[in-house]
Structure 1
Amino acid sequence: MSPPATSESYFQNVLEKRARSDELAAPLLGNELNRRLNYLSPAQIRLVADAYEYAEKAHTGQQRRTGHSYITHPLAVANILASFKLDPETICAALLHDVLEDTNVNKSSLAGAFGERIADIVDGVSKLSHLVDSHAEAQALNFYKMTLSMSRDIRVILVKLADRLHNMRTIGVMSRDSRKRIARETMDLFVPLANRLGIYVIKQELERLSFEAIYPLRSDRLDRLVKRVRKKDKDRIKSVHQKLESGFREAGINARIDYVETELYSIYRSLRDHEETFDAFMDTLIYRVVVDSTDDCYRALGLAHSLYKPKVRAFRDYISIPKLNGYQSLHVMLVGPGAKSIKLLIRTSNMDEVANYGLIAGWIKQSEEDSDEDSQTLATSDVREWISNLLNLQDRGDAVQFIENLKTDLFPDEVYVFTPQGDILALPVGSCAVDFAYSVHTDVGNQCVACRIDGQVAPLSSILESGQTVSIVRAAAAHPDPMWLNFVQTAKARSAIRDRLRSRGEEESIVLGKNLLNRSLANANTSLEQLDFRRLRKVFREFNVRKRNEMFEEVGRGNLLAYQVAQRLLEEDIADHDTSNIEHGAPIYVQGGQNMGVRYGRCCGPVPGDDIIGHISQGEGLVVHRAQCGNMKSVEAKHTIMPVSWTDNPEGEFVTRLRVDIEPHLGILASLAQDVNALGAGISMLDVTERTPQLSSVQMDVGVRSLKHLRRIIRSLDARTDTSSVQRLTH
């Protein structure tokens, strides 16, 4: 006896029945393909027909899980791309996209039959067949393969998107676990990728199908609820539509007005993330207004304000400042009948085409003009630049970080800020002045030391808002601070900072190693310059290094102790060397910033003005601590501790930790951050612990210039009426 059907099993049956239907599984027969290609020349149609015959022969005897002949899948993929009027090479590649992976055909024979370009596209798609692996390293490598394929020919990812779209349409024949895994992979990668390329029609359908596959019950219930509410709104939707049409007609503006239904997954995501209530969503009616010209867009905006009262601060001009994927429209919110909201998306017909088809809108337009032009030239320069930047994100040392960088870059919300010259830069929400600097140029980011936001000096960690003008102060000798990695948002900035720190790390460790060795050798009245390194290869072998700079670097990183290396160098170079104690010597001077292989102890957060000592820590080099740091008192190897001093003018921002005991109230963190920022200090961490109902402890990492600067901040916080005490922490 079979178990009773559950809601999950019911929807599984619905999805499977739909997947097996001819309408989805086999929407096109081979003899029907030509009528979809009426935008191509007869010679190009013959090429596509040859590709179909080749694929059909190669897949002979193969079947899909839907029960249909396998050739129906390549035909369906070709049908999707033909609906966008893509070039004949792309259509051929769609028909052939599985022959390398699923048949005995190899790339060389495919290239002999259809040319290198088609073979390259098919090969690129085949390499993307198993994009996501459970292991982070393999996943990063696969993401990188995808990006590399896109950089060579953007049509690879277009065929892959169409392939994934048809597979999602027929996903109901997969097992429950496979269905959810593939749907999540689609939601995580292919949906944001389609969005970044501006191909909204594919993005929207992939998102809907993935939502249905992952949460079939939620999708069904939400769909029924939306339809029930909208049925009651039928008259209101029609009334607003008629008023808009009448107003535009009387104003002499030619406009096509369409009601836009809100996507189910957008509603679900906002409800899940508590961004908006269901009632707020359903109280908003969305209309797309398509006019003839850009001037008409702004005329339409003025007319809309005369028909309905505009909402305050609810206007976005994506025409003057397009989104990263090329999207352009005017977004305006109006107060409609019964205080309900009306949202208008105002754009031209060309903008509407780009909004729906993004990158491939060029192919659609091209097919009406000259279908012989090389298709690869259609990829816009900004998309090519984006792909190039993605390639630069490959971080050999951290696969997980690379994946997070890529996801951040694929699907950002945006702020728009101005350069001092008036140019507009789009950055992800949460970006800071350092992100801005790296978006201008890598050298600007590497050399930035300060910034001005709207003419006022501000911390580099300041979060930017749309409309601000940002100016970067540079210094040729400056370099990135590792602390920047705690607050930058863009993948480009994060990658560039890591690259620069990596390259500097070796140089700085070598310089520090030389200084430490010279400090020890000075007690024997000699220096590195006076040693004959040609006779010291035996010492190199003892310390497992091949050359001088490797030895200096190991000393600078703390992997070799300077006094021990100095002792052996003296023994080999000078037979009767002075055996006086060379463990001690003059202090090392600290300039500030994370340079010269110097790090600063997070346990105590030393700042210029503090009494300090140094500790040679294995793998880290010289770490500077406050003299009273408890960790230094417990160090058993006293020879690893050495005197250090600040130079006369230390530079940079130094992070130390404060604890503020304060009465809890609404907005406590924002209030404290505002006070600290007002004194020119940055905050990289805030944490609240409730000690009693009447007292909370706030720990914060503040970036200051000196001990004097820190004391000003402490006095300011201590002067607050809600503050009980302010302490500087030392672990």
Structure 2
Amino acid sequence: MVIDAEQEKKEIISRYRRLLRKAKPILKDGDAKLIKKAFTLSLDAHKDMRRKSGEPFIFHPLAVAEICVEEIGLGTTSIISALMHDVVEDTDIELTDIERMFGKKIARIIDGLTKIRGVFEYGTSQQAENFRKMLFTLSEDVRVILIKLADRLHNMRTLDSMPRNKQLKVANETIYLYAPLAHRLGLNAIKTELEDLYLRFTDRPIYSSIAEKIDATKAARNKFIKQFMIPIKEELDKLGIEYEIKGRPKSIHSIWNKMRKQNIPFEEVFDLFAIRIILDTTMEHEKALCWQVYSIVTDYYTPNPDRLRDWISTPKSNGYESLHTTVMAKNGQWVEVQIRSKRMDEIAEKGYAAHWKYKDTNTTAESNLEKWLARVRDLLEQNNHSALDFVDDFRGNLFSEEVFVFTPKGELKTLPYGATALDFAFEIHTQVGSKCIGAKVNNKLVPINYVLKNGDQIEILTSAKQKPHEDWLRFVVSSKAKSRIKDELKEDKKKSAEEGKEILLRKLRQLKEDPSQQLLEQMREHFKVQANFELYYRVGRGFITAADLKKFVENKPTSPLKNRPNAPADAKAIEQEITKIKGRYEDILLVGEDMDVVDYKLAKCCTPIPGDDVFGFVTVSEGIKIHRTNCPNAPELLSHHGNRVVKAKWTSQHEVAFLTGLKIRGTDRVGLINDVSKIISEELKVNMSSMSIHTDSGIFEGEIMLYVNDTRHLEQLIEKLRSVEGVVKVSRFDSKE
């Protein structure tokens, strides 16, 4: 590749100037000088580096700084930190140099960003440990995470130049952690774009088809919005207020989610878009005005009473404020209308950063986010769980909606949606949670697993004899309750394991067995437990009895465990293994960098068939398992264990049949089943493994398990079946065994 150095220099300067132009409104005296200093330092530090796409590396920090200013609304400190966020990691410049040149605050932010540079690069616990470090800096300065999100957004926008397995890994890590983080910090626009980009890189055909359909319906949609708004506009003009109307289509990812969850095609997704009315008014008038506009909308269109959402009176804990209602338009279509002020709209799009702007005037929205950050700090102090547990608990709390409840004295508490009386007890205090035996909700006695509803007033009942049980973890949803229960159980578990170890060693002595490492490993294999600690615990609790141990010793294998495959260290080692195993040609899946033919199993969670976009995942005991890239378990596998992922793709040199399932629905008529089975077995020569049809009041629903060669074969079959008279819907489902 020939590089025109002059041209590149010009482009770098032009991008730098664009950044300054965008930052101009927020710059104070002396800021431009500091930004120039940071830019010069970064430019020099990265001068010999290029990105995967071949561009000069400096394009990346410039783009991240621009996202910080324009899309998140951050200021000078963040611009400087974004420009230098890779400097310490990639070059000889030390943190102490940065502190000397730019001060403590910027050095601390860059330290935070450097810590999370390698997130999810090594093994599971390392990834999670890094993530925990990132949150430590988040709780000190939320800008760390905002700049990290800008960095991630730019990486996702430029993911095209990465190899396929890297794309899958980065995309899944994004959907697993970064999109929920953006959601929690109220960065709606960034969350939506990250989700859409995730879909684009993991399931391009679906992404493209939804994008095309949204485009195709654009003109009709705009016309509809215009018609819908005519009477409302007239009324708003009479009121003499400034307003703006936007018709926003739902994001591609959320449409896909709806199609998947409800198992419906694009055409049946009704609320494809929302109409947003944004009012330009002062803070003291905004609440009353939003309700006035709501009243105007519902004068003309009938609202769905179950779909009114008032986040103006009680904002979401990420600061989101808006009034949502769903109304019936004149053409029989449900339309979501969102009513909010200009301030609320800015907070909804830019989230946490926009709060700084309104910080002095609006304390409630701020304090909700502050409360959440305080909760994160609290969680981090419980530093005794495995980092992986921590990440899972934390992540669980990112996306959850809230429920608003009251203490007996009328204090408002916000808990994750689905929280129970027990969650509430732990929210009050660890001791109250541990001793909780029940609660009074609105003066009625309820059990500890009672699910809280908005507006409930709760009084917790305790007993000195009560202590946490394992099954409590099944019905608490907040991170705080989970981590406290695990703490208490861990103590109990430790005691049981110590007792179990004594019992086990005593029993083995009686049976004249030496408790060697090899014997313990055979025992773990036999009793299907992962670690010695778990084995001792099960003995201590009596789940493994003396009789079980005796039986094991009598029937134990005589040779060491030769057949058990060791967990391969990482993808590279696996690919070397693969090269040795060549020579199995009846399979048609190619795996690994060298695209060899190897042994594999198809994952039962998503039942891939040839033609599906797939990846290989190295399991500890079952060799390589093949998953679809849009498998529900993919985000967790790829973000927790990215180093165990191998490339995989189908080639169609053999006719091998794969089992898959079809759901079929329609109106019942005589001879229908006969027509359906004729198409399957006679026309397309497909073997069925089972067929179950259920009819009720003239509607039939069926599930057919059949063998197909690949996705093309399956699509052909679905097309044919849809043309049968009476069949309304045919869709693929994954057979769960």
Q: Paired residue for 1:360?
A: 353
Where does 1:405-416 land on structure 2 (aligned, <5 Å)? 405-416=393-404
Q: Does 1:206 align with 2:194?
A: yes
1:338 lines up with 2:327 in the alignment? no
**What residue is the counterpart of 2:102 in the other structure?**
114
Q: Which moved more, 1:124-133 or 1:553-562?
A: 553-562
Q: Could you tell me how far apart the structure 2 residues matched to 1:382 and 1:275 are?
A: 38
- Structure 1 residues 253 and 116 mapped into 2: Cα distance closer, same or farther (>3 Å)? closer
Amino acid at match of 1:35: R
- One-letter identity of the residue aligned with 2:447: P
What is aligned with 1:59? Answer: 46
1:166 partner amino acid: H
| Aligned twin of 2:172 | 184
Q: Residues 253 and 300 of structure 1 are in contact (CA less than 8 Å); yes or no, is this contact kept in structure 2?
A: no
The equivalent residue for 2:15 is 29
What does 1:49-88 align with in structure 2 at a 5 Å threshold?
49-83=36-70, 84-88=72-76
**Local SS of the residue matching 1:320:** coil
The alignment status of 1:313 with 2:306, answered yes or no, reads yes
CA distance in 1: counterparts of 2:413 and 2:305, whole angstroms:
25
CA deviation after TM superposition for structure 1 residue 94, in Å? 0.8
> In the alignment, what sits opposite 1:327?
320
Q: Which residue matches 2:295?
A: 302
Change (3 A) 1:558 1:486: farther
Compared with structure 1, are the counterparts of its residues 314 and 27 closer, same or farther at alpha carbon in structure 2 (3 Å cutoff)? farther
Tell me the distance in 2 between the aligned counterparts of 1:361 and 1:258.
Answer: 20
Superimposed CA distance per residue, residues 282-331 of structure 1 (whole angstroms, 9 cap, x where no aligned partner): 45541112232111112222222212111131111112222121111111
Q: CA deviation at 1:114?
A: 1.6
Distance 1:484 1:30 in 2: 55
Q: What is the distance in 2 between the residues matched to 1:327 and 1:271?
A: 26
- The unaligned stretches of length 5 or more in structure 2 are 1-6, 510-534, 552-693, 695-737
> Which amino acid in structure 2 is aligned with residue 29 of structure 1?
R
Letter of the 2:29 partner, please give it.
Answer: P
Change (3 A) 1:495 1:203: same
Q: Which residue of 2 aligns with 1:386?
A: 375
| Cα distance in 2 for residues equivalent to 1:257 and 1:116 | 45
Matched AA of 1:302? S
Alignment of structure 1 residues 74-223 onto 2, 5 Å: 74-83=61-70, 84-133=72-121, 135-223=123-211
SS in 2 for 1:449: strand
Say which SS state the counterpart of residue 61 (structure 1) adopts: coil
Normalising by structure 1, what TM-score? Answer: 0.63
Q: Conserved in 2, the CA contact under 8 Å of 1:418 and 1:470?
A: yes
Give the unaligned 5+ runs of structure 1: 1-20, 370-376, 511-552, 565-616, 638-692, 694-731
RMSD: 3.4
Larger radius of gyration: 1
- What code does the residue aligned with 1:219 have? Y
TM-score of the two chains, using structure 2 as the length reference: 0.63
Name the structure 1 match of 2:591.
none
Please state whether the residue corresponding to 1:105 is helix, strand or coil: coil
Question: Structure 1 residue 442 and structure 2 residue 430: aligned?
Answer: yes
Percent identical residues: 31
Residue of structure 1 equivalent to 2:444: 456
CA contact (8 A) 1:334 1:342 kept: yes
Aligned partners of 2:499 and 2:540 also within 8 Å: no
One of 343, 348, 351 as aligned partner of 1:350: 343
Closer/same/farther in 2, CA of residues 455 and 560 from structure 1, 3 Å limit: farther
- Offset at residue 560 of structure 1 (A): 8.1
Are residues 130 and 255 of structure 1, via their aligned partners in 2, closer, same or farther at CA, if it must alter by over 3 Å? same
Per-residue deviation, 1:426: 3.3
2:189–2:349 Cα contact (<8 Å) kept: yes
- Is the CA contact (8 Å cut-off) linking 1:197 and 1:383 kept in structure 2? no
Give how far 1:424 is off: 3.6
Question: Relative to 1, partners in 2 of residues 1:387 and 1:156: Cα closer, same or farther, differing over 3 Å?
Answer: same
2:460 to 463, 472, 475: 472
SS at match of 1:457: strand
Secondary structure at the aligned position of 1:337 is classed as coil
Distance change >3 Å, CA 393–CA 229, structure 1 → 2: farther
State how many pairs are aligned: 507
CA contact (8 A) 2:406 2:455 kept: yes
- The one-character-per-residue Cα deviations of 1:102-160 (angstroms, maximum 9, x if unpaired) are 11211122222222221221121122112114633223212211111212222111111
Deviation sequence 1:52-85 (CA, Å, 0-9, x none): 1111111122222333222121111111112244
Q: Cα distance 1:130–1:44, how it changes in 2: closer, same or farther (>3 A)?
A: same
Q: Which amino acid aligns with 2:473?
A: L
**C-alpha spacing 1:271/1:393, structure 2 compared with 1 (3 Å):** farther
The 2-side partners of 1:172 and 1:394 are apart by: 38
1:240 matched residue in structure 2: 228
